[in-house]
Structure 1
Amino acid sequence: MHIGRLVERFLREMNMPPTTFGRKAINDPRFVRDLRNGREPRAGTAGRVIDFIARERAQRDAA
């Protein structure tokens, strides 16, 4: 799955604002806006985003 679709699905699922996601995931509040405008993150950044999403889902499921 493309990282942008993964992020958009996560935002809807968690009802999280895009700026909050960017700040928490990679310390960049403009990250989602940039993705929406065509930004292709580097492999390391994409990995950090995927790890963040996995941690957040695990934390939600544990609650």
Structure 2
Amino acid sequence: MSVLWKVERYLRQTGMAETKFGRLALNDSRLVRDLRGGREPGARTAARIEAFINAGVPQ
């Protein structure tokens, strides 16, 4: 399962805006747009994204 697919599923399930997700996960508001545009995250970045998703919705 690709990182983008996991991000898209998370956004659908939580209703979080893509820019907010990027800011909270990596301090990069363009993250989701860049992933949709073909950006391939490195192993560390992918791990940080997955850790954010696994942690759940921040309060």
Which entry has the higher C-alpha Rg, 1 or 2?
A: 1
Q: Supply the distance in 1 between the matched residues of 2:2 and 2:42 (Cα, whole angstroms).
A: 13
The TM-score with structure 2 as length reference comes to: 0.94
Q: State the percentage of identical aligned residues.
A: 51
Task: Give the CA deviation at 1:56.
Answer: 1.2
The TM-score with structure 1 as length reference comes to: 0.88
Cα RMSD of the aligned pairs, angstroms, is: 1.5
For CA contacts below 8 A with separation 6 or more, give which structure has more relative contact order: 2
Q: Supply the distance in 1 between the matched residues of 2:20 and 2:9 (Cα, whole angstroms).
A: 15
- Give the structure with the larger helix fraction: 1
For structure 1, the 5+ residue unaligned runs are none
- Number of aligned residue pairs: give it: 59
